[in-house]
A and B are shown apart, each in its own frame.
Chain A
Amino acid sequence: MSQEKPKNIDEYRRWLKTEHKEEITARSATYYDSATAKIVQAFESSDFWTSIKDDFRDTDAQYRLKNGYPLWASENPPKLIVKPFDSFLLKTFRKNVLENKNWPDSPKKGWILPDNWFSAVNDIVRTTFVVKYLDGVDFLVTSMRSLCAECKLDSKPHFEAREEGYYAAHFYVYREFEIPQVTWDTKRIRASVELQITTQLQEVIRQLTRKYYEERRERLKAPDTKWQWDYTSEEFVPNYLGHILHYLEGMIMEVREKQRNGAQ
């Protein structure tokens, strides 16, 4: 029996109800808000995040001592943000359906459903650190890995380099959280917080390309012409700008190091 693929979020909700007996209602969104609030609260009061905030200026100082330039593009540490419920549900739609190569069977790691989705979706809670220079990304990843080790937390970095010109490090910190269940009880889950690390220039282009990123994520199938060949498409320029900026940042590093070595 072939199962018709849901084509949009409404059909996905119906599919969840008919195939997995999971009804997504306003109550689901309320529960999501309350569970994620607990995750944020627990992470904010963790030794790891407290150290990140307390050592924010000292981390900058360590980078300056090593490289002679400031690390941060901002004065204060970023705030943790929660993925809105609609975006979260859309992500499960992408993972379960749009990007599921095994359809109509489950994705390789299994269906993402309410009983496991707080663990399966890795960026429900996230934030972005913006650094001035390209080498600041790796510097910060190394620093965060050491801090995770000190706090006895698992972590995993991913250096993203996407076709659409997106460049950033995504650093995942894993820990256990106690969240409310739909009933009065609580349950312990293992979930990750995503710390994105990007450069000042990439952050600028991210704001410009966000719109196309959102649209791309909701597509059921790829367009007939790849964006790389469609110079009239709105994505063409901003996506290539992302690549060009990354290249420019590499060149800026080269100039910076030559200046520094010349001065020495």
Chain B
Amino acid sequence: MKKEFEEYLRAINMPNSLIERIETIFPYIELLCPEEIVRLFVTDYVQEDGAREYESVLFFSKDFICEAKQFVTENDIDVTPINKRIFYITLKTQDYDLKNATEKSRIYAKVFFEEGPPTLNFDLKASKENCAYAVQMLSDILVPNLVR
């Protein structure tokens, strides 16, 4: 796994066992994605009791996005081209000013690809310090790939 991926995962307080789990997913991603993975994002949320749940991993190459859904317990992976194919993004935030994330900060974006069938979409969910990384994904990858 690239050093920057591991640094990101540690920055969002992911336990070692789950980092190792993501390592085991990479061969499946390499099977599906014809390009090198250049960015990584883990969707997470916080339960009512305060427990942090890591949900899906998004793998980005230059022109493709792969998603490993419920990566902790499943091998359920898909891939789709991303290049100028996003036609709708909806964004919600809570206790987050896009600059300083706190324990209560949450961000949720739903991203739709060009109209189907099938209608493809994915969720970009983040809590706490992961909100800043979600904003980076939006500005660096998702918004630039909006259909014009």
Contact = CB atoms under 8 A, between A and B. Distances in A.
State whether these chains interact: yes
B90 interface: no
A68 interface: yes
B50 A75 contact: yes
Contacts of B16: 58, 61
Interface string A29-63: 00000000000000000000000000001101110
Interface string A61-78: 110110010101001000
B51 A62 contact: no
Contact of B72 (A57, A58, A64, A75): A64
Contact of B73 (A57, A58, A62, A65): A65
A102 B49 CA distance: 50
B27 interface: no
Contacts of B72: 61, 64-65, 68
B98 interface: no
Chain A interface size range: 10 to 19
Interface string B44-87: 00000111000000000000000000001100000000000000
Interface in B15-59: 15-18, 21, 49-51
Interface string B111-125: 000000000000000
B100 interface: no
Interface class of chain A by DSSP: helix
Nearest to B13: A57
B9 to A, nearest CB: 12
B6 to A, nearest CB: 15
A53 B49 CA distance: 19
Contacts of B51: 70, 72, 75
B41 to A, nearest CB: 19
Contact of A60 (B15, B49, B50): B15
A50 to B, nearest CB: 16
A61 B15 contact: yes
B66 to A, nearest CB: 20
A61 B14 CA distance: 9
Contact of B21 (A57, A60, A65): A65
A203 B71 CA distance: 31
A65 B73 CA distance: 6
B25 to A, nearest CB: 12
Contacts of A62: 17
Given A65-B18, A65-B21, 17 more contacts: A57-B13, A57-B15, A58-B17, A61-B15, A61-B16, A61-B18, A61-B72, A62-B17, A64-B72, A64-B73, A65-B17, A65-B73, A68-B72, A68-B73, A75-B49, A75-B50, A75-B51
Interface of A: 57-58, 60-62, 64-65, 68, 70, 72, 75
20 contacts: A57-B13, A57-B15, A58-B15, A58-B16, A60-B15, A61-B15, A61-B16, A61-B18, A61-B21, A62-B17, A64-B18, A64-B73, A65-B17, A65-B18, A65-B72, A65-B73, A68-B72, A68-B73, A75-B49, A75-B50
